[in-house]
Chain A
Amino acid sequence: MTPRAVLRDAEVRRGARDMLAFGPALVAWAMVSGVAMTQALGPGLALLMSLTVFAGSAQLTALPLLASGAPMWVVWASAACVNLRFVIFSATWRVHIGHLPRTRRVALGYFLADLNLVVFQKAWRSAVREAGQVPYLVGGAATSWTIWQAGTCAGIFFSSMVPTTWGLGFAGTLSMLGIAYSLLDSRVAWLGAALSALAAVAAYALPLKLNILVAIAAAVGLGLLMQGGRRAARAA
């Protein structure tokens, strides 16, 4: 399709419109990320991170680790844990875009984050492949990417004029707090989070920021044990 035909496509436009409804929240969230990244890394690296990483929660999680010079594999492993939900999402996306050639489906896959799934599942309730879904997704992804990057740039610009001593980076910490609360949806989650927090603080003296990985391992281990126990109880 020519660019003009893409812009005229009804499904592309509908995807873009549905995403625009979330514009204000997306902009605010992107601005906070821009501010937090700039406080930790400076404007240049913040821009690079925004344009390439494009995963808000993982970016916020990586910031304190990057700022303290943690080994790269610790940074990557932590981000991968935060991004684990995308692995599950990718199985859902496969239903709808799995018929595309690999290059195109992984290119589109890169742009599909949490909000894209929320918006898509509201618009297409059947959970089967239907005509129009791919252009709908393209329209939505182009829109969410543009809004996100615009918000991030605004945050970077604003943040680079404020001295780091003001402590605006704390906005990133508070955002992570909000994300964490939104994930506390079960007893396993509560206990896992409590254990992770305690372990991360108690093991803080470990070199190479390994306290982060120790904390994640402890919490996941506890989660698997508890879920395994529940399953055994049900089977009995």
Chain B
Amino acid sequence: MNGWTYAVPAILGLAVVTFVTRNVFLWSEREPRIPEGLKRALQVAPLAAIVAVLAPEIVMTHGHVVDTWRDARLFGAVAGSAWYVLRPGMLGPLLAGMAVYLPLHLGLGW
């Protein structure tokens, strides 16, 4: 954490991002026309942003790709993924992943 002088404005800026993105076509008084490029970017951009943050969170430690299989995150992610394949949803994969992650992390120190 970098202190409140960094985090507070960063968070308030995120609130502005929420407000602006939810109101892009509500702000103007004229009828909106959705640009074709925006529709096409939407196919990939949100997913790409989430995955870009997510992937290093699972496979990297201190700036390097993990070089051991004894990492609780890997097993947690595999368990969550397997659950999603069998029963798609939000909560199931989360609980399955944590059920595998926590014992390995807390019990074995992985």
Contact = CB atoms under 8 A, between A and B. Distances in A.
Interface in A23-74: 25, 28-29, 32, 40-42, 45, 48-49, 52-55, 57-59, 61-62, 64-67, 69, 72
Interface residues of B, number: 74
Nearest to B63: A204
Interface of A: 25, 28-29, 32, 40-42, 45, 48-49, 52-55, 57-59, 61-62, 64-67, 69, 72, 75-76, 78-91, 93-94, 97-98, 102, 105-106, 109-110, 112-113, 166-167, 170-171, 173-184, 186, 188-189, 192-193, 195-201, 204-205, 211-212, 215-216, 218-220, 222-224, 227
Given A55-B18, A113-B22, A193-B51, 5 more contacts: A49-B14, A59-B14, A84-B41, A192-B43, A193-B47
Contacts of A84: 21, 38, 41-42, 45-46
Contacts of A41: 1, 7
Interface in B49-92: 49-60, 63, 65, 72-73, 76-77, 80-81, 84, 88-91
A216 B99 CA distance: 31
Contacts of B48: 81, 192-193, 195-196, 215-216, 218-220, 223
Interface of B: 1-2, 4, 6-27, 29, 31-32, 34, 37-60, 63, 65, 72-73, 76-77, 80-81, 84, 88-91, 93-94, 97-98, 101-102, 105-106
Contact of B89 (A45, A106, A178): A178
A175 to B, nearest CB: 6
A168 to B, nearest CB: 8
